[in-house]
Every structure is written in C-alpha cells, then in structure tokens.
Amino acid sequence: MTEEKIAAMKEPDLYRNFSESQQAAIKLALALEGYFRPESELEHWKAYEAYLQKRIRPAVEIILDADNTERLSSLEKSGWFTKELVDQFLQLARQKGKIQCLIWLLRYKQEKYGYERPEYSL
C-alpha cells in the first residue's frame, strides 16, 4: 500500500484497514495518517494515538524521512518526546540529512531542555 493510496482513503476505510492490518509498516503509516487528520473520529484518533505512543521512534523516523516539521511539531505536543528521544531524533535527522527537521529539533531541545555546558575549573 503506497503513501498516496493511504492519503486518498476516506476515514472509515482508513480506520478499518488500520484495525485489520497485520503488517507493522502499513499499520504505522495508516496510524500516522489517521492521527494527523482533523476529521478522524475521536475513538479512531485515540486508537491511532495509542498505537503511535508505543512506536514513537519509527513514527518519527517516517516524519523525518518526509522532512515534515509541521507533523513533528504536532506529534511533540503529545508529550512523548523525552530528552533521550530528542537526542536520538537529532542524530537520526543528522544521518538522514533532513535539515528542516534537524533545525526544528535543535531549537526544540534548546527551548525544552537546554544544552549542557562543560565546566572548566581553574
């Protein structure tokens, strides 16, 4: 199932495919699409959210591949981004060369956690 086919699905079909899918990659793509759709029913949205919360790293990896800072910012509002995860996401964005997401993550880390400064003793 392609991204275009998933994006073109109507909400009831999207949720049905999500519920029935046994393939992790497809289920993750369906959950991401449903999570970011404003027209998703609350019950469906909660199911997508619960699924994504358990798979935050692969979900963010898909978002990084698309270099989609809007979705990254929206997913961050869930409260699932720990300092350790942000560091992992930064490394992944750097490795993938996803500059927009890398900049967003650097700013987010600065605002949320700050950067440790080395102490120099005299």
For the stretch 10-52, pLDDT in tens is: 888 999 999 999 999 999 999 999 999 998 899 999 999 999 9
* Phi-psi label, residue 58: left if phi above 0, alpha if psi -120 to 50, beta otherwise: alpha
| Structure-token match 């992944």, residue found | 92
Q: Which amino acid is at 55?
A: R
Q: What is the mean pLDDT of the chain?
A: 92
Pair 45, 78 in one domain: no
Pair 66, 45 in one domain: no
For residue 32, being part of any structural domain is answered with yes
| Contact by Cβ (8 Å): 66, 99 | no
Q: Residue 43: which residues within 8 A CB-CB, separation 6 or more?
A: none
| Higher per-residue pLDDT: 43 or 115 | 43
pLDDT value, residue 12? 87
Provide the pLDDT confidence category of residue 90 given band limits of 50, 70 and 90: very high
* Structural domain count, the chain: 2
pLDDT value, residue 7? 82
Prediction pTM value: 0.85
